[in-house]
Amino acid sequence: MKVILASRNPDKLREMQSVLAFPGIEFLPVRALPGVPEVVEDGDTLEANAVKKARITAQITGSWALADDSGLEVYALNMKPGVHSARFAGKHGDYAANNRKLLELLRNVADRRARFRCVIALSSPAGRCRTVEGICAGCIADAPRGPHGFGYDPVFIPEGHLKTFAEMTPAEKNRLSHRFRAARAARRAWHSLLSGPNLPDWPD
């Protein structure tokens, strides 16, 4: 069975493919399919963006499609940047600029609690869609640390740890990450996907 991964971000794709592996399902990046337009992420919530990407991709390709949207939510910033995480500093995907803006806003702020949240949406070709989410709590470091990862990984320290995500190996990060936790919830339903065309009942 083929499931289209409706993301064009190579960093996200690499993580998703590593945590979603499941016997009997082949995950195919959407960019491998010619003629599939890029979906504009203009929703007000992570859920809205994930559902939109999954549903449109599934309907265009005629295949099941899976999409995610993730965001960093900082308590002292009223849970921002949230849905705007990728373009927090203005330009989409400028990781260094996003981190600089975040650290500047948190300068001299004692409350550095934050969480990463990932919403995964799965859509049938008919457009029926369900979502699950994963959360990783933590805090924001005083300065970027570590050579690995992407996005806000250099400034995010997961709860119960001293290293940022960027100081961890990919395997270490995957065991803790919001994306892994969302994928783990999604994987509980894979066996139902293989048994017929109907969308399975996803766990709450």
Whether 28 maps to a domain, the answer reads: yes
Q: Mean pLDDT in runs of 10 for the chain (204 residues)?
A: 86 77 80 88 94 95 93 98 94 87 97 97 89 96 96 97 97 91 79 49 40
Give, as one character, the DSSP assignment of residue 148: S
146-153 contacts at long range (C-beta below 8 A, 24 or more positions apart): 148/173, 149/173, 150/11, 150/95, 151/11, 151/72, 151/85, 151/86, 151/95, 151/98, 152/72, 152/85, 152/95, 152/98, 152/99, 152/102, 152/116
Helix ranges (H only) for the chain are 10-20, 46-61, 95-105, 170-176, 178-187, 190-193
pLDDT at 93: 66
User: Considering the domain boundaries, does residue 73 fall inside one?
Assistant: yes
- Say what the pLDDT of residue 189 is: 61
**Would residue 203 count as lying in a domain?**
no
pLDDT in the model for residue 187:
77
Per-residue model confidence (pLDDT) at position 190: 61
204 in any annotated domain: no
Exactly one of 68, 69, 153, 204 is catalytic; which is it?
69
Q: How many domains does the chain divide into?
A: 1
In a domain, 182, yes or no: yes
pLDDT at 141: 98
Q: Which pLDDT value is given to residue 34?
A: 85
E strands, the chain, are 2-5, 26-29, 64-74, 80-81, 113-123, 129-140, 156-158
69 is an active site residue:
yes
Alpha carbon distances (Å) from 21 to 15, 100, 171, 180, 189: 11, 34, 14, 11, 13
Q: Which domain holds residue 11?
A: 2-193
What is the rounded CA–CA span in Å between residue 165 and residue 37? 32
> What is the number of other CB atoms lying within 10 angstroms of the CB of residue 197?
9
pLDDT digits (tens, 9 = 90+) for 10-36: 877 877 777 777 777 788 889 888 888
Q: What is the CATH number of the domain that holds 106?
A: 3.90.950.10
Block residue for tokens 């990984």: 153
Structural domain contains residue 200: no
| 198 within a domain of the structure (yes/no) | no
Domain-embedded: residue 171:
yes
